[in-house]
Amino acid sequence: MHRRDLIKLSAGAALVAKAAAPHRFFTEAEYQVVDQLTEMIIPADDKSGGAKAARVADYIDARLAEAFLPEDRERWRTGLKPFVDASADQRGALLARIAASEKNPQTAEEHFFAVLKGATIQGYYTSKIGIHDELDYKGNVYQSGDYAGELP
């Protein structure tokens, strides 16, 4: 076998492995739950797409795959377990109950929701949909008129 054949074979195996495992951290069930929960947190509206359109679950999946501390990944696995084991209606009810006590989280579920919500917001507002559609960011443009930061 020639070296070039081995390189081609390795590249093909890498492509197959990537296609077989579309998520870097989450299992398929966990990914579907995160995708649904993030959309519940930031739903689509008339102005912009929601968390699903912004691919927030992909963002969270990539960040967790690259997480330095194993505790960060384990916290997500543990926090997602009640949602993965529940039906879609039960997930909505669980999320509503947890969100109601969001100001003063006491339970592990409530702490997980705070982490989930923070990651959802970060993922959404670093996406094209969040920045350009939601915030109407125009890029670096000349601002005429009074400077908002100028003191009188």
Band the pLDDT of 143: cuts 50, 70, 90: low
Range of the domain at 54: 24-134
Domain count along the chain: 1
By CB atoms closer than 10 A (0-12, 13-18, 19+), residue 26 is buried
pLDDT tier at 6, thresholds 50, 70, 90:
low
Average pLDDT rounded to a whole number, residues 33-45? 93
Q: How far apart are CA 65 and CA 77, in angstroms?
A: 12
Average pLDDT for 135-151 = 72
Q: Is residue 17 part of a domain?
A: no
pLDDT of residue 54: 94
Share of the chain above pLDDT 90, in %: 41
The verdict on residue 71 lying in a domain is: yes
